[in-house]
Amino acid sequence: MCNVLLAMSTIDERQFLKDMITTHFFNLTFLPDVIDSEAAYRLAKEVQIDIMILDLSDFANLTFDYKTKIIKQQPNVKVILLDNEKNADHLQTALRCGVIDYLVKPLRLGECQTAIHRALVSLNQVSLLNVEHSAAENEKGKNVHKMIQYIHQHYNEKLSLEQLAKLMHLHPCYVSRSFTEVVGMSFVQYLQHYRIEQAKKKLQFTHLPISEIAEQVGYSNSAYFSRVFKRTTTYTPNQYRQTYEGCHVPTDFQHVREFIE
């Protein structure tokens, strides 16, 4: 589950973003709203933020300053910036700061969807935006959302398809088929994917021993964990740590480069 923070003063824009995210995405939850970047920084000291949407409109320089402080506090947070109008200076600064996206008001549904999708992918989460049958109104989609929530909360435990089926009061075959149709990968593949991505974060931003990280992400056998990790990433855990320790995931800013070209 990814925590989303909306830092903006305009109620209508907050509601627009909440409606869009609730309708088109499944694995996001909202933190308490804040009205500016200073309040966002205070919150960042207390809770984990995965995706943060910041409004630059009135106090751009101050917002960039606090955004930098927040990144120092939480290096893996993905930031989307909003602006009242196209501003080349703001965009250049945003690019240098490594934000995920820079959106200009009035907010457009497609651009907002793409920004959230890009943030999820950068977080190494599965985005259900373009997967068939993923609408929130769809009962199958709702069921899979509950399964994903459960996986995110219990990924470090022994999990099985039968457990999910029992949780959902559904037949295991139906659960398996539904999960694959909605997410685009099997339950086993998704669980492994999520565990390895959590391990990457721990390797990047902690100094925990490999054996302890393996246990924390659900692998009781550290040798087996290392084999799975290498098969998935082409790196051993130690190689990955040495290569990416403390690194911030690179940004993808392709669709806004037209502003400065």
Is-cis flag, bond preceding 75, omega within 30? no
When comparing pLDDT for 17 and 76, which is higher? 17
Closest CA to 73 of 103, 40, 50, 45: 45
pLDDT surpasses 50 at 40 = yes
Asked whether 127 and 121 are in contact (CB, 8 A), the reply is: yes
**What pLDDT is recorded for position 162?**
93
Hey, what amino acid is at 83? D
SS (H, E, C) 182-225: HHCCCHHHHHHHHHHHHHHHHHHHCCCCHHHHHHHCCCCCHHHH
Which fold, 139-244? Arc Repressor Mutant, subunit A (1.10.10)
What's the pTM? 0.58
Over 50: is that where the pLDDT of 133 sits? no
The pLDDT, as a whole number, for residue 104 is 92
Enter the tokens of residue 241: 């740590």
Judge whether residue 126 has pLDDT over 80.
no
2-129 and 139-244 agree in CATH topology: no
The two structure tokens encoding residue 199: 């391990």
Any idea where the domains of the chain sit in the sequence?
2-129, 139-244
Q: What is the mean pLDDT of residues 1-18?
A: 91
pLDDT above 80 for 127: no
CA separation for the pair 115, 109 (Å, rounded): 10
What is the CATH architecture assignment of 2-129? Answer: 3-Layer(aba) Sandwich (3.40)
pLDDT score, position 123:
78
pLDDT on residue 247: 62
176 vs 172: CA distance, rounded Å: 6
Q: Is the pLDDT of residue 90 over 60?
A: yes
Burial of 110 (0-12, 13-18, 19+ CB in 10 A): exposed
Cα–Cα distance for residue pair 43/22, rounded to 1 Å: 22
Q: Give CA–CA dist 153/193, Å, rounded.
A: 14
